[in-house]
Chain A
């Protein structure tokens, strides 16, 4: 099913780069929802313009990373990711 609003993990690289000190798109995630592992670059991204960045597992749609930037404050919710491993 086409979902024209979703982008590839790479699209979140700029926003994720604001909070993580390592290259996130090549980091590997383990999905808390379905156990799938892959690079963040291969996950689905919803860049909700100016609201936040939501990275979802392509297998089960679970939100792996939820990120919002409210003025000076960043909020990152990683509950949907069991592990995030850098290469």
Chain B
């Protein structure tokens, strides 16, 4: 299977599903969808009537085994594309995109583990595609997700992650909240640091495969921390979302 498609084509929006106050999932129908690998993304392009265009990349949230393509979009305050996708787009609209794109930041069951997934905010999206893939194929590759969110309400896929972890002994989900936390919160409440990673991750001797995704400062900090803890750089893959987004 080619790992990419460079042609722009149209998807039809089936549903726009709120996930958190700031994020929504776009469920898309794509004619002749050839499938993807968990971790890949699509480029989305919006065109105004006068021809003006704006383009952004969004990670695929759905598993390769899912029938429909799902993107989860975080609405940025001064964004140009994300407010459109989360506030204007509705079922029946067409959305121009190309993909799936990117063969580097992908994981499938055959790649093995143990699997360490570290995400910040909407950086959890490509990691969720990996987790969903794992669940559908019944993989028991030991997997840990360390997920940083600003508050409890902003944890994307919270319930689904809770359910998956509850029935799958080989999946562990660890949260950390960085801005506000509920009264009865017993979890971590600070930015991900070396100490937290050392606690959550496997030892370098166990050679985990690590995928780190989210805002650039988080990815840089986690990436260097993992290497600093002794993990092989070649087994730590990063996907920065950049300081500016959509």
Contact = CB atoms under 8 A, between A and B. Distances in A.
Interface of B is mostly: mixed
Interface residues of B, number: 26
A2 B221 CA distance: 9
Contacts of A8: 104-105, 238-240
Contacts, number: 70
Contact of A23 (B43, B103, B238): B103
A10 B104 contact: yes
A2 B224 CA distance: 12
Contact of A41 (B2, B105, B233, B242): B105
Interface in B98-125: 98-99, 101-105
A60 B239 CA distance: 20
A14 B220 contact: no
- Which of A18, A25, A38, A40 is the most central at the interface, judged by chain B CB atoms within 10 Å of its CB? A25
Nearest to A25: B104
Interface in A43-85: none
B105 A4 contact: no
Contact of B102 (A2, A10, A18, A42): A10
Interface in A10-25: 10-11, 13-14, 17-18, 23, 25
Given A2-B220, A4-B243, 11 more contacts: A6-B216, A10-B105, A11-B240, A13-B4, A13-B102, A13-B103, A14-B57, A23-B103, A25-B103, A41-B237, A42-B237
9 contacts: A7-B242, A11-B239, A11-B240, A14-B43, A17-B5, A38-B234, A39-B104, A41-B237, A42-B233
Interface of B: 2-6, 41, 43, 57, 98-99, 101-105, 216-217, 220, 233-234, 237-240, 242-243
Interface of A: 2, 4-11, 13-14, 17-18, 23, 25-26, 38-42
